[in-house]
A and B are shown apart, each in its own frame.
Chain A
């Protein structure tokens, strides 16, 4: 791990990675996005991830070993894709001797929404969870650059959310997950001293589909 001087405790360069929906990667300098790529396709994470990271580094003119923090979107999102980004974040951090920070992927959508709609009230963020369900969370606003989550993240049928919150009092948005926004949140959390250091445990919200074996009876 790089040991920064006390006066530069705030990391200068960070790399943000999220594969909870498409593949999105960004390089930030002091919390400002200087390069970003967003591939929307939901199935090509393992193909894209290497060259996406290579591209944002090249576009920003930053060497891998200058990256101080790797910010990982920890979901929720479809598992297979989500894991590609988390695996990449872990090994990039080891290779670049950077530290790891996890941020809830839905928070990036909330940040972008409040930046576009300053002063807006409650927000309901949903993303596709397949099987006719959505991953969702609600927010009340942004404090010091960090979206304030009031519910979630959870996974439900869209129509069931109304039983849990007053949907009519919440705005919704079409915005998607963006690595740059994750990096901005991580930087704001760092300034506020509430960064989610090292914990990049994925938010799965569902157990694996598997039924314990009852044994016996294999033949028809």
Chain B
């Protein structure tokens, strides 16, 4: 679903009227009214198109010389609601209103249309009055709502981001698209003897690290809490007990300082990291996020409004597979760098390990999903068999062949998503991006297929607070209202929920 927004003209009237009469059964505007609206000089109407078909429209009125604008109407086709199209339309309209010099935007909404009201609240609209029985013939009241654009556009917000979704305690500070500090404390060493992240140990370490990491971030940015405009925090997905440490801390900090709080999706944070690296996120882009906790393939058409999960691992995360195979080979934790080191001298084609979910029958159901559990077992069998026969085997070859199998599947599926969705960009994120072979193959394959490859620096690829702050800053700059204090830590938060 690629949604395009463009300005409407009188030529679009027939299609608009189809949608108008379908959307507003009893109080649709007559065709003549809509025609004069489209033709008027002081109005700005836009369409949302999918495959050149109108699936939504919205309009704004702004009289020259006035610093107030009115949202006239907004409609999204019934079967396309809940997909972020309304948000996209509102984004464009509020941006246009600002460019036209509006300081305040007004609108009326049916008192019984709570879905529309929720959308407007997201953009900072607050109810300022009621018009009794405004909508006829139903006799339904209209709520008058207003948002103040001066609050949101005049400067780049300074946002403090808190990240505790796995084993990294991160506090980052950004100003708009720029990193001011990005401090990370990892509990990785404490998990080493267990061969993987132990959630309880990670959560204990977060609590210990909270204060020093915040102090260090403020010191690095040379700021005090008074300089911070808002607080952002990861509320999922991730380890529940770990997430709750950050959520509890962030809420208390927000109440203590009176700053607004934004609950942010961790995976969207990884995508947003690219903004901090080059000042913008080019969309659409395919994003491949690979870490010890996630292996996800996303298509991002719009960072705040349109992120879709194409597939993810159905068992182990790629980073987990590296850890487990490292154990099999007697290498230390974390497995990724160790396998990278050993594989350097090995032959990646020595053993043909299985590529999970690439057979035709799997590709039907799991086109963009991943599976590494079978691969891990195959490596273990290979090693056990060799040992039981008393045969010598090359750890370097096993490591290199295993790594090749992981990288091969990851990049093949990512590149084929780029082709299938006609998206000429691939963004990598997550700690496994440190893997040398992954970067190498990604580069080769992207070059061969005319795809632009983005790999932010490692400090922004691994879990970190700056990427969470970056999403907070984007939400503020788009005029989004803060989260309410009641949001929860959600270990399985879907990627479509950018802000809770």
Contacts and interface: CB of A to CB of B under 8 A. Distances in A.
A46 to B, nearest CB: 4
A48 to B, nearest CB: 8
Given A46-B248, A90-B211, A210-B194, A95 B256 contact: yes
A39 to B, nearest CB: 12
A50 B195 contact: no
A64 interface: yes
Contacts of B69: none
B245 A213 contact: no
A57 B257 CA distance: 13
B200 A88 contact: no
A139 interface: no
A164 interface: no
Contacts, number: 154
Contacts of B327: 213, 215-216, 218
Contact of A209 (B200, B207, B330): B200
B258 A64 contact: yes
B255 A92 contact: yes
Question: In the complex, which range does the number of interface residues on chain A fall in?
Answer: 35 or more
B489 A95 contact: no
A218 B376 contact: yes
Interface string B242-261: 01111111111111111001
Given A50-B485, A51-B486, A219-B384, A84 B256 contact: no
B198 to A, nearest CB: 4
Contacts of A210: 194, 198, 200-201
Pick from A46, A49, A211 the residue with the most CB of B within 10 Å. A46
A3 B240 CA distance: 38
B194 A83 contact: no
B377 interface: yes
Contacts of A219: 377, 380-381, 384
Contacts of B328: 215-218
A91 B259 CA distance: 13
Nearest to B323: A213
B241 A53 contact: no
Contacts of B244: 45-46, 80, 83-84, 87
Nearest to B195: A213
A86 interface: yes
Interface string A60-90: 0000110100000000000110011111111
B332 to A, nearest CB: 10
A64 B257 contact: yes
B204 A208 contact: yes
A110 B251 CA distance: 30
A95 B257 contact: yes
B214 interface: yes
B473 interface: no
Interface in B211-240: 211, 214, 225, 240
Interface string B58-84: 000000000000000000000000000
A94 interface: yes
Interface in A2-25: 17, 19
Nearest to A84: B248
B302 to A, nearest CB: 29
Contacts of B240: 80
B423 interface: no
Contacts of A216: 327-328, 330, 380
Contact of B200 (A48, A91, A208, A220): A208
Contacts of B252: 17, 49-50, 53, 87-92, 95
B7 interface: no
A54 interface: yes
B417 to A, nearest CB: 30
Given A90-B210, A91-B256, A80 B485 contact: no
A159 interface: no
Given A49-B252, A64-B257, A83-B241, A217 B380 contact: yes
Given A215-B195, A216-B328, A218-B324, A87 B248 contact: yes
A180 interface: no
Contact of B249 (A87, A208, A211): A87
Contacts of A92: 252-253, 255-256
Contacts of A51: 485-486
Contacts of B324: 218
A84 B245 contact: yes
A96 interface: yes
A211 B247 CA distance: 28
Contacts of B325: 218
Contacts of A163: none
Contacts of A49: 248, 251-252
Nearest to B243: A46
B170 to A, nearest CB: 14
Nearest to A92: B252
A85 B245 CA distance: 9
A17 B248 CA distance: 11
Pick from A19, A85, A89, A210 the residue with the most CB of B within 10 Å. A210
A79 B204 CA distance: 9
B488 interface: yes
B255 A57 contact: yes
B393 interface: no
A91 B249 contact: yes
Contacts of A94: 211, 214, 225, 253, 256
A215 B207 CA distance: 29
Interface string B299-315: 00000000000000000
A202 B245 CA distance: 13
A47 interface: yes
Given A87-B210, A90-B249, A211 B194 contact: yes
Given A46-B248, A54-B255, 11 more contacts: A46-B243, A47-B486, A49-B252, A50-B255, A65-B256, A79-B200, A80-B241, A93-B256, A96-B257, A218-B328, A220-B377
8 contacts: A51-B486, A87-B206, A87-B252, A88-B248, A88-B251, A204-B204, A218-B327, A218-B380
Interface of A: 17, 19, 44-51, 53-54, 57, 64-65, 67, 79-80, 83-96, 202, 204, 208-213, 215-220
Interface of B: 193-196, 198, 200-201, 203-204, 206-207, 210-211, 214, 225, 240-241, 243-258, 261, 324-325, 327-328, 330, 333, 376-377, 380-381, 384, 485-489
